[in-house]
A and B are shown apart, each in its own frame.
Chain A
Amino acid sequence: MKMVSKISGAEAFIECLCKENVEVVFGIPGGSLLPIHDALYDSSIKHILVRHEQCAAHMADGYARATGRTGVCLATSGPGATNLVTGIANAYMDSVPMVAFTGQVPTGMIGNDAFQEADITGITLPITKINYLIKDVNNLPKTIREAFHIASTGRPGPVLVDIPKDVQIMESEFEYPKTFNLRGYKPTIEGHPLQIKRAIKAITDAERPIIYAGGGVIISNASEELRALAELTLAPVTTTLMGKGAFPESHPLSLGMVGMHGTKYANYAMTETDLIVAVGVRFDDRVTGKLNAFAPNAKVIHIDIDPAEISKSVSVGIPIVGDAKRVLKELIKGLGKKPRTEWLKKIEKWKKEFPLRYDRSGKTLKPQFIIEQINELCPDAIITTEVGQCQMWAAQYFKSTKPRSFISSGGLGTMGYGFPAAIGAKVGCPDKTVIDIAGDGSFQMTCQELATAVLNDIPVTVAILNNGFLGMVRQWQELFYDKRYSATYLGTTSPDFTKLAEAYGALGIEVRKPSEVKSAIEEAVTSDKPAVIDFKIDPEENVLPMVPAGAAINEMIDYEG
């Protein structure tokens, strides 16, 4: 008889993580996680102690987006678990592979309103691909295997695994299953040959095609194929916020970002195109603007791995469900070069006539100038962003050239995301410069993670575009609410950010003049320390151009003159 030694659920948990090649978890311990943290103490897995569980989730998320691997976070039962919720929702909206583990009160106490009990599987039902409550230690390996598989395949997303404390203690014979049967989960990878044929014909026939690329291209590692398609068909490429970096924005065929704060030429091209080749996108309302005026003359080819995205908001003539990389490869095989001189000429004209612009006189410190300087000094940096004006300026003025180098909360729009995401990205890519483009409002939502960055020696730079306002809301109040700045002024109540940084043991730099920008960035990124630069920018600078809510995307507000 074969003797198999028994191990505890907590030890089995560590074994499972090792089998999944997890190198790092982000978390905070607690009463219901004691056995797991005890097992972690002796393991090779690095545990990064954070200061708020929301940030553990954002770090796992930033790590996943920067590396393409599944991020892992860990929180105790009750408040620890509920603190993860924003981070999980964020990962769900942006299709980020993540497995969140939570401690739970012992099985016998579940449902009893026990101390630090929360029904976290119930709470996260709509924001996870699937979630599990493990009631029997014998099911633990199988469940964790499935969780990692589901999180990282198909359209990726977060999965939550809730592990009661007694399950962590109970012993079982450990065996990591090699196979599993998920009969309800079989993502379609290969595009349908007939649809691909139709798409090839449509692209060949099109006079004014446009490629509209999103986060799916990055997830599927399809940037090379996307570039090949664009160069072959001479179709201009516009990306979503999530798609930034999927196509080099330095490329002559790049139109930059589309939508509410996209470039005018991207929005004009989208409006006049006769064929949209949509890849890994979901026709979000921030992209389409007024739906019935969106791309009125266009046929639509939509390539996506999630069938539920096809025709969700815009009707699609040629749907291709499949993995972007595989489908693009097939498309390229069937396509030939076709000159589209007239169309490209028109686009060149728009680009010349309607470039992104701002006041470059240097009289005040402009946020756009700061982003351009960051771009010039650190073109290969991973940029993360907070949410609001800072995010849109970063999206407009930082020219992303590589995938996984622009990391932003797109769907959920989570203020406070950028800084922990930067820490996660830096943990995953220690050789890269990582810069969080922040606002003074957003940064204050998660700035306590300065402690995490300092304690674990994770040198990221936070560039605060400090205008003393919740700037994007202020901008809407200025434009649509008669400048009634209700509850958006932060100015005198915010701390001195350089002193705050120093209090945590990080580097703090204050910048008031355009002439100080370059040296401050250089100092921060070469300091090898977590650094905060407090850029005191022009407080009433706006993000322009802008499509007002409910308008068509070619009806943009811009600077006068």
Chain B
Amino acid sequence: MKHTLSVLVENKPGVLARVSGLFSRRGFNIDSLAVGVTENPEISRMTIVVEGDDRVLEQVTKQLNKLIDTIKVSDLTAEESVERELMMIKVAAEPKMRSEIMQIADIFRARIIDVSPKTMIIEATGDEEKINAMEALLKQFGVKELARTGKIALTRGLKSV
């Protein structure tokens, strides 16, 4: 089962290496990892999607907590949370195909952020399923390049982690 972990860490050099090294060393699989600073410039939030059963998750959580630079680890899977991912996709777009691509973008509430004579770049945010669905639909036009951020997430409402 996939779990989304929200991990608050010290915003210091080497912390990302510590966390990613921990995963490979202990044989845990990371599906995605997104890092960025929080409202407090001294603290970064890592959102890590990890695959594993309860036993694996327990070990991942404990090992993450054991890192001195880790401030807090929360498993958002069981929480009411909002999850988003950002994708930028560059597709082949001859002028006659543009309107069709724009329609698809509209349906997914995505935006066109670059147009060239032969390509378009579409920016989309959403949960993983939406992003996957959109990518599948755009494949027919020919995907030139694709970049995804990995998931970020927050709990809903007043509660914070």
Contact = CB atoms under 8 A, between A and B. Distances in A.
Interface residues on B, range: 20 to 34
Q: Which of A121, A129, A183 has the most CB of B within 10 A?
A: A183
Interface stretch (A307-315, A357-365, A411-419, A426-434): A307-315
Given A307-B65, A308-B63, A183 B71 contact: yes
A130 B21 CA distance: 13
B69 to A, nearest CB: 6
Interface string B21-33: 1100100000000
A59 B58 CA distance: 36
B9 A184 contact: yes
Contacts of B67: 130, 184
B18 A184 contact: no
Contacts of B10: 184
A93 to B, nearest CB: 14
A185 B55 CA distance: 23
Interface string A128-156: 01100100000000000000001000000
B68 A130 contact: yes
Contacts of B62: 307-308, 310
B17 A125 contact: yes
A150 B66 CA distance: 12
B6 interface: no
Interface string A296-326: 0000000000111011100000000000000
A4 interface: no
A122 interface: yes
A126 interface: yes
B21 A125 contact: yes
A3 interface: no
A1 interface: no
Interface string A104-130: 000000000000000001100110011
A306 B59 contact: no
B47 interface: no
Given A125-B18, A126-B25, A306 B58 contact: no
Contacts of B13: 133
Contact of A130 (B17, B69, B71): B69
B68 A122 contact: no
A487 interface: no
Interface in B1-53: 9-10, 13-14, 17-18, 21-22, 25
Contact of A308 (B9, B18, B66, B68): B66
Contacts of B65: 307-308
A126 B21 contact: yes
Given A307-B62, A312-B59, A122 B17 contact: yes
Nearest to A308: B62
Nearest to A126: B25
B69 A184 contact: yes
Contacts of B25: 126
B87 to A, nearest CB: 32
Contacts of B63: 308
A194 interface: no
A50 to B, nearest CB: 29
B51 to A, nearest CB: 19
A183 B43 CA distance: 11
Contacts of A183: 71
B70 interface: yes
Nearest to B72: A184
A421 to B, nearest CB: 26
Nearest to B15: A184
A125 B69 CA distance: 13
Contacts of A126: 21-22, 25
A307 B67 CA distance: 12
Contacts of A125: 14, 17-18, 21
Contacts of A308: 59, 62-63, 65-66
A129 B62 CA distance: 14
Q: Which of B10, B14, B59 has the most CB of A within 10 A?
A: B14
A428 B55 CA distance: 42
Contacts of A130: 67-69
A125 B59 CA distance: 19
Contacts of A184: 9-10, 67-71
Contacts of B17: 122, 125
A526 to B, nearest CB: 47
Nearest to B66: A308
Interface in A430-483: none
A129 B67 CA distance: 7
Contacts of B22: 126
B68 A182 contact: yes
Contacts of B59: 308, 312
Contacts of B66: 306-308
B54 to A, nearest CB: 10
Contacts of A133: 13-14
Contacts of A312: 59
Nearest to A146: B68
Interface of A: 121-122, 125-126, 129-130, 133, 150, 182-185, 306-308, 310-312
Interface of B: 9-10, 13-14, 17-18, 21-22, 25, 55, 58-59, 62-63, 65-71
Given A130-B67, A184-B71, A308-B59, 4 more contacts: A122-B17, A125-B18, A184-B9, A184-B67
11 contacts: A121-B14, A125-B21, A126-B22, A182-B68, A184-B68, A307-B65, A308-B59, A308-B62, A308-B66, A311-B55, A311-B58
Q: Closest 6 interchain pairs by CB? A: A308-B62, A130-B68, A184-B71, A185-B68, A184-B70, A308-B66
